[in-house]
Amino acid sequence: MEDFEPSPARRRAAPCLAALALAASASGQDAWESVRASGALRWGSDAEGGAPYQFHDPVDPTRVIGFEVEIAEALAEAMGVRAQRVQNQWGELVPGLQRGDYEVAISGIEIVDYRLEAVDFSRPYYAGGEALMVRKGEGGIASLADLRGRSVGTLRDSYAHRLLDSQGGFRVRTYDEQVNPYLDLELARTDAVLLDEMIALYYGIPRPALRVVGEPIGEVRYGIAVRKGNPVLLERIDAALDRIVREGRLRSTLERWNLWNGKTAALFGDFSQRKAEAPAFEEWRRAMGHSEAFETQGRNWIAYAKVLGLGALKTIELTCLGMIFAVVFGLALALARLYAPRPIPTLAIAYIEVVRGTPLLIQLLLLYYGLAQAGVLLPAFAAGVLGLGLNYAAAEAENYRAGLQAIPKGQWDAAAMLGFTRGQTLRHVVIPQAVRIVIPSVTNDFIAMFKDSSLVSAIALVELTKAYQELAPVANDYLLIGLVAATLYLGMGAVVAFAARRLEKRLRVEEIGLKPA
């Protein structure tokens, strides 16, 4: 298998990943002990990876299926435990592994040199090449070399991505999932797509407007990633892989999904004739409407609604708890900035400026993965609420500062004449009026947080946007499912806006001394 030099960005990231690995293994206890004690092998994966890796079943979208799901279950069974899948974004699978969120990661992770600096790998369980695809009407393209100077789509940080970078001369367009590269190729937004041949088999070849160019290029091998410092677990994984290979279970799984090929046969030294059909592959084709032998499967909107509903519920939980934290902490920051003795106002200003000046995504990653290096392991949900709350507290602090400073000085003087202390004046006179003033701004931030909560998918949480990203490739429908997801967001925001208007009306009525009807 060819290896390619990682980019400067990847080389800079390697020490961080290695530090995470060192921190995670500092306890000295092999992960196999926790697997044996719990009776479960937790494996990290990303259901957005799509078919045939792991994906929501088109017939029952509440289930996650795929050839790697079957491999994980077979491995766990061979090890005498059960398999327990843990969702995380593909790009964060290795950091999640280092945190100890799961014992292994199985999600089309390629065995390459720069990843070996951060994790150990089992023996490969699949080998294949890269398939180059272009539009059928596009002439004069017989190899990758014919595309120099033209745009080629591929997955970010994949073997194909590194191959294109190493050869140079291409305008590389990267994607985070495997449907849109082929869609853009069909729409002539790119000139070609280079991806793993199994991805082309499922998402490229079924498109009648596209064609494969030549034979598969290079070789990529998938392995099971294990956190460094766990030799016993790695040995158990390899032994379990050997067992399912000897028993024919691995080959049977790959054949069911139409993935057994010459490179995988050479990998395992098994060149015997095909032993099984590909029912899982044909079922997927039927569900996607790609098979002439079957009618297209109708969309299971009830199941889709359940998946999207669970995602929406998680979004509501995160946003409501995050906003409560933001409002309380933001008010405290505003009061500290305006009325606290030195140097507290300076510290409050510094916090507000630093948080407002850095992206929310980086703050979430620091809370979830960065603190792990210091031995502080926050649960994903807690990190999500805390990240949203800390970020929006800076904005709320400025809202409240504007509201507090809008109260005329005469109000303070009148309160002082009545014998109110400074604290009593704030509590009974100034803050209630400031709250009325800032309601529209706080409402706007509340609605904005519903949308920004989509970033928590980077720390192993599945909210509404992530649910949409997982379902859309399965249904092969980004439009309708996207409209449903957008409608849910619109509904959540509308409820907040309605409640805010009712609150404003009530406060106005109380302010003039009338009872609401």
Q: What are 77-111's pLDDT values in tens digits?
A: 999 999 999 999 998 999 999 999 999 999 999 99
Please report the beta strands in 60-137, taking only residues with DSSP state E, as ranges in sequence order: 64-65, 82-87, 104-105, 119-121, 126-135
344, 485: one domain? yes
> Stretch 308-313: mean pLDDT, rounded?
96
Residue type, 69: V
460, 334: one domain? yes
pLDDT score of 203: 94
507, 438: one domain? yes
CB atoms near residue 135 (< 10 Å)? 18
> Stretch 334-351: mean pLDDT, rounded?
95
The answer to whether residue 341 sits within a structural domain is yes
The answer to whether residue 352 sits within a structural domain is yes
The answer to whether residue 179 sits within a structural domain is yes
383, 364: one domain? yes
Looking at the structure of the chain, the number of domains it has is 3
Asked if the model's pLDDT at residue 30 lies above 80, the reply is yes
Residue 502: HSE in the Cβ half-sphere, 13 Å Cα cutoff: 7
* CA-wise closest residue to 198 among 244, 160, 166: 160
β-bridge partners, 193 = 133, 153
Q: Which of 170, 190, 220 is the last residue of a domain?
A: 220
**CATH code of the domain containing 456:** 1.10.3720.10
> Stretch 465-471: mean pLDDT, rounded?
92
What does the pLDDT look like over 168-208, one tens digit per residue?
999 999 998 888 999 999 999 999 999 999 999 999 999 99
Distances (CA, A) of 101 to 85, 224, 321, 379: 11, 15, 23, 9
Tell me whether strands 126-135 and 171-175 are parallel, antiparallel or unpaired: unpaired
Handedness of CA 58, 61, 66, 71 (dihedral sign): negative
Q: pLDDT-based confidence at 14, cuts 50/70/90?
A: very low
In the chain, pLDDT over 90 holds for what percent of residues?
Answer: 71
What does the pLDDT look like over 265-292, one tens digit per residue?
999 999 888 766 899 999 988 887 765 4
269, 313: one domain? no
Cα–Cα distance for residue pair 337/345, rounded to 1 Å: 4
344, 403: one domain? yes
Q: Which of 253, 268, 298 is the last residue of a domain?
A: 298
415, 279: one domain? no
pLDDT score of 509: 59
Q: pLDDT-based confidence at 507, cuts 50/70/90?
A: confident
**Highest-confidence segment of 9-13, 65-69, 297-301:** 65-69
What does the pLDDT look like over 114-166, one tens digit per residue?
889 999 999 999 999 999 999 998 888 999 999 999 999 999 989 999 999 99
**CATH code of the domain containing 152:** 3.40.190.10
388, 472: one domain? yes
Domain residues for 168? 128-220
Mean pLDDT of the chain, nearest integer: 89
CB 182 within 8 A of CB 53: no
Cα–Cα distance for residue pair 220/235, rounded to 1 Å: 23
The answer to whether residue 28 sits within a structural domain is yes
What does the pLDDT look like over 48-57, one tens digit per residue?
888 999 999 9
Q: Which of 270, 298, 326 is the last residue of a domain?
A: 298
CB 101 within 8 A of CB 460: yes
The answer to whether residue 2 sits within a structural domain is no
410, 457: one domain? yes
The answer to whether residue 38 sits within a structural domain is yes
